[in-house]
């Protein structure tokens, strides 16, 4: 169903934005003007979960 696809895409986009904004660096396609350099200290996985319909970071795991 197209409505569910759009809803899921919006949720995924919000989760990606939450994790990208948590980083104080640029990495891959996530460029930040305020943090233009890649930083090895941010070589981590960011896990995003849902809390009452809102994506939020559940944990950050070093690689």
Q: What is the pTM of this model?
A: 0.81
Counting the structural domains of the chain, the total is 1
d(CA 59, CA 13): 18
Sorted by sequence, the CB contacts under 8 Å of residue 61 that are 6+ apart come out as 44, 45, 47
Q: 55 by DSSP, 3-state: which?
A: strand
Radius of gyration of the chain (CA): 13
pLDDT band, residue 53 (cuts 50/70/90): confident
Q: What percent of the chain has pLDDT over 70?
A: 100
Q: Is the dihedral of CA 2, 30, 27, 56 positive or negative?
A: negative
Domain of residue 17: give its range.
2-62
């Amino acid at each position: 169903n197209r409505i569910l696809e759009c809803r899921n895409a919006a949720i995924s986009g919000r989760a990606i934005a939450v994790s990208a904004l948590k980083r104080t660096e640029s990495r891959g396609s996530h460029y930040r003007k305020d943090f233009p350099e890649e930083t090895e200290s941010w070589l981590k996985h960011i896990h995003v979960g849902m809390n009452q319909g809102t994506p939020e970071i559940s944990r950050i795991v070093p690689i």
